[in-house]
Structure 1
Amino acid sequence: MAAHRLHFLLVPHIGPGHSIPMIDMAKLLAKQPNVMVTIATTPLNATRFGATLAGSINAGLSVQFLELPFPAAEAGLPEGCETTDKIPSLDLVPNFLAAIGETADKYHIPRIMFDGMSCFNELCCNNLYVSKVFDCLPESEPFIVPGLPDRIELRRNQLPAEFNPSSIDTSEFRQQARDSEVRAYGVVINSFEELEQEYVNEYKKLRGGKVWCIGPLSLCNSDDSDNAQRGNVASIDEEQCLKWLDSHEPESVVYACFGSLVRVNTPQLIELGLGLEASNRPFIWVVRSVHRSNEVEEWLAESGFEERIKDRGLLIRGWAPQLLILSHPSVGGFLTHCGWNSTLEAVCAGVPLITWPQFAEQFINEKLIVQVLGTGVGVGADAVIHVGEEDRYGVKVKNEDVKKAIEKVMDDGIEGNERRKRAKELGKMANKAIKEGGSSHLNLTLLIQDIMHHANATS
């Protein structure tokens, strides 16, 4: 700190789902008086996300990348493997995790945790850690998560890998992360208090008040250009995408995307496509089939799918400008894997959800969406499919299940209209929260004041 200027060092876990919201956070912090921000990342990630930060740098904000070489060779990784979606083989996941370390403890810097989840999820996971309520239960037997404001029922086979291990052993890394979380000075949450007020209150009690909800972070991107460039170069021209969306009626389009890490097996991906087709709704489908692109392209070509849906379907192969799509008036439903970034982006856009969780905390997020917020309908996914184990499970969700969930969300009846109304209300609350006088705007101020006080007390 120099002349009462705070310097925040942001060290994101190097995967898109973590880096993108932390870069948004960096921009948000840098807009505050007497604050400068440095994002520590690797050269390849600085290049990948550079366009996302360029506007803020050009506007004169004190925000920058600090490029640090990633020890790929030392960790036994191939050159260029500097982010989670670039790991060529799941056998190398432990190597990747071993290449990441923490330095804040060593230098006695107040370390604030950000893992990109909601207070709902943080509280659920803490209570699961403490209670071990699922111990000795069969993996498919339901249990109630204790100590929550709502009655939330889960099964062990729906829990994140901390409680439901996969064949890839990451237990040592997860224990280190858990220990680090417990010791952290405080927690920054990419959410807003009005979305989950009771869970914010309970989580604050747990963390001694050091919890700051400063989201939705995606709303720091103020225009279509920012939204189109966020995260990566889109695989479709922005104007082409907008033109297609403009050609459809308000709230008529289903947008389907499973994020950057989900690896759906080919038969299951085909069922998704057939479900979208059977819904008879116009749709945008982001066909991102990691390590299976040849199989999927073969099916698309030989089955006649693309020809059949060409008048009402738009396929995007690769990265999609998701914020741009969700904020368009023609989009009426989002078929999602329930990753928190995607969930929150849908909340901001006031769009109801068709939920199809896959792994990690996604089944917990589905409970929040469907049961607590009342803005989603599930396709019927019933258990985690761990990354790398997709082929063991075959087809878990049929195309008719997809069709039925889409019809429910897009329905014009009382239930569908009530769901849409609730989604729109939450969207308005989200946008209000980040503006001056809003809860997240206030929390950002309180965060900076708290760190300033701490810095002065220890200087």
Structure 2
Amino acid sequence: MNGESDQLHVLFFPLMAHGHMLPTLDIARLFSARGVKTTIITTPKNAPLFTKTLDKIQNSSTKISLKIIHFPAKEVGLPEGFENLDLVTDLQVHRKFFAATSLLQQPLDDLLQELHPHGLVADMFFPWATDIASKHGIPRLIFHGTSFFSMCAMHCVEQYMPHKTVKSDTEPFVLPGLPDEIKLTSLQLADHTRLGFENDFTRMMDRAKETEKRSFGMLVNSFYELEPAYVDHYRNVIGRKAWHIGPVSLCNRNAEEKAHRGTESSIDEHECLKWLGSKKPNSVVYVCFGTNSRFPASQLREIALGLEDSGQEFIWVVRKDNNDGEQEGDKEDWLPEGYEKRMEGKGLIIRGWAPQVLILEHESVGGFVTHCGWNSALEGISAGLPMVTWPIFAEQFYNEKLITDVLKIGVGVGAQQWIKLVGDYIKKEALEKAVKEVMVGEKAEERRGRAKALGEMAKRAVEEGGSSYTDLGVLIGELRSYGGLRKQD
């Protein structure tokens, strides 16, 4: 075999949500840059997110194809065109969305039959992908989109159920068997873990855990130097195959790529950079809670006042659909009266999407208030920033512990309870205190020094010879061997 027929071909199938599609696109680019033929599967409404980037980067050395399949929204009672998890506003719609994704099994089967790839990277939320890949005789890799630390912590909770040993929901317990002493409370665990109930979503998650053991392994957006004890624990103690290939966002090299990653920004990047350019180094705190949080107006008001009282300059990203269902053009009653006038020159509010990677890397930015979603956390780490941690749900409380207790580059606002989409209610005083501590507190410089060192390590990890660059090479070699392909020079 030679030429095209001897080229490794890997198919990528991310969940239809920005937090899954963006890192998957970055991963596909990393594979493509190493000579792998890559194809991404998505749906009509999500395709523009990929084409926008692919049109800019396609050249002779980067060939990424897109395969578009129908998303069965109407079939499960969702409106036609409802194809992205970020549009979900309540639990009933959440259930329908995942019912729709389970109907994508046949289209995936058909595509494998048509394309004959050598491997499949499918999202953890598609547990059925393992059996379909197996039917076609190819390895299935899982993309989870979180840290080794949180995977180890989740495994520990499932295995030992330490939350069952305490007398109340607020009594701290230690996660047994981990390399560090990590304490949590039951309230900080997912509600289905804490309360032990079952539904379609928890059954899917159980199936995902079961297929983890039968899949080829896990692709992890992390790097060895960030969490070495947890990479080793996951591989050697839990005994799972995994490759660390991150931070994947660092494949966006130039300002244009960073500015246009994801949905079109609600602010012109030049305007944003001009504003930042007028500020002193490390003087601005960037505040953003990801694509899935849904804060009520009362919480947004607390954030506004907490930022004002902190006395720090800030950029705050507020989702347009975040404000108690207000329509565009409605009065923004979450903003205190005269707020933007008072904050003129001191605070910049971006409604909608912001060029996050570009902002985080700017020298004027000295801190990051984050919900601890792994994409955001790792982008903050890559930019060498200390963080204010405000976990809301998913695995964010685990990621917070990594940032504050293990890496020691963050200060928590004191979120005590896991609540899907809306999170725990945080008072302005708690935010003010944490922001001041990260930006100007007595340990601020020490924390910033540690964060900057991690940022340097992140950049080295993805360069030739770095830990993530090397691990990706090892994985590509294994996939070539599995597919019976000759080693490429």
Same fold per superposition (TM over 0.5): yes
1:135 aligns with 2:158: no
1:345-404 Cα offsets, whole Å, 9 max, x none, are 0000001100111001101000000000010001111111223xx4xx8x7211111111
Partner Cα separation in structure 1 for residue 387 and residue 268 of structure 2: 25
2:300 to 254, 261, 269: 269
Match of 1:26 in 2: 28
Segment of structure 1 superposing worse, 216-225 or 281-290: 281-290
Matches within 5 A, 1:323-362: 323-362=357-396
Match of 1:144 in 2: 174
Aligned residues of 1:43 and 1:68 also touching (Cα < 8 A): yes
Aligned residues of 1:287 and 1:316 also touching (Cα < 8 A): yes
Match of 1:451 in 2: 479
Partner Cα separation in structure 2 for residue 291 and residue 406 of structure 1: 23
Matches within 5 A, 1:212-223: 212-223=243-254
Match of 1:44 in 2: 45
1:137-191 Cα offsets, whole Å, 9 max, x none, are 4322211111100000111211235514699862222122222222211111100
1:74-97 Cα offsets, whole Å, 9 max, x none, are 121111111101235431211111
Gap change, CA 1:18 and 1:164, over 3 Å in 2: farther
Match of 1:290 in 2: 322
Partner Cα separation in structure 1 for residue 142 and residue 96 of structure 2: 23
1:185 aligns with 2:213: no
RMSD (Å) for aligned C-alpha atoms: 2.1
1:406 aligns with 2:435: yes
2:189 to 159, 169, 172: 159
Match of 1:99 in 2: 100
Gaps of 5+ in 1: none
Match of 2:105 in 1: none
Report SS of the residue matched to 2:468.
Answer: helix
Matches within 5 A, 1:111-260: 111-135=140-164, 137=166, 138-161=168-191, 163-164=193-194, 170-206=201-237, 208=239, 210-260=241-291
Partner Cα separation in structure 2 for residue 300 and residue 99 of structure 1: 34
Aligned residues of 1:15 and 1:85 also touching (Cα < 8 A): yes
Gap change, CA 1:302 and 1:190, over 3 Å in 2: closer
Report SS of the residue matched to 1:74.
Answer: helix
Report SS of the residue matched to 2:326.
Answer: helix
1:377 aligns with 2:438: no
Aligned residues of 1:338 and 1:366 also touching (Cα < 8 A): yes
Aligned residues of 2:304 and 2:336 also touching (Cα < 8 A): no
Report SS of the residue matched to 1:366.
Answer: helix
Give the TM-score normalised by the residue count of structure 1. 0.93
1:426 to 439, 449, 454: 454
Q: Percent sequence identity over matched residues?
A: 44
Partner Cα separation in structure 1 for residue 314 and residue 10 of structure 2: 41
Matches within 5 A, 1:6-17: 6-17=8-19
The amino acid of 1:453's aligned partner reads: S
1:368 to 402, 406, 424: 402
Gaps of 5+ in 2: 103-128
Match of 2:123 in 1: none
Give the TM-score normalised by the residue count of structure 2. 0.88
Aligned residues of 2:287 and 2:315 also touching (Cα < 8 A): yes
Gap change, CA 1:209 and 1:172, over 3 Å in 2: closer
Aligned residues of 1:186 and 1:207 also touching (Cα < 8 A): no
Structure 1 residue 309, shift from structure 2 partner: 0.7
Gap change, CA 1:76 and 1:266, over 3 Å in 2: same
Structure 1 residue 292, shift from structure 2 partner: 2.1
Report SS of the residue matched to 1:235.
Answer: coil
Aligned residues of 1:36 and 1:63 also touching (Cα < 8 A): yes
Partner Cα separation in structure 1 for residue 326 and residue 221 of structure 2: 36
The amino acid of 2:324's aligned partner reads: R
1:252-272 Cα offsets, whole Å, 9 max, x none, are 001000000001121111111
Partner Cα separation in structure 2 for residue 13 and residue 162 of structure 1: 21
Report SS of the residue matched to 1:27.
Answer: helix
Aligned residues of 1:133 and 1:145 also touching (Cα < 8 A): yes
1:307 aligns with 2:308: no
Partner Cα separation in structure 1 for residue 137 and residue 95 of structure 2: 27
Match of 2:69 in 1: 68
The amino acid of 1:231's aligned partner reads: G
Gap change, CA 1:371 and 1:136, over 3 Å in 2: closer
Partner Cα separation in structure 1 for residue 415 and residue 340 of structure 2: 26
Segment of structure 1 superposing worse, 153-162 or 267-276: 153-162
Report SS of the residue matched to 1:231.
Answer: coil
Partner Cα separation in structure 1 for residue 189 and residue 293 of structure 2: 16
Aligned residues of 1:23 and 1:53 also touching (Cα < 8 A): no
Stretches of 4+ moved more than 3 A in 1?
164-169, 206-209
Count of paired positions: 451
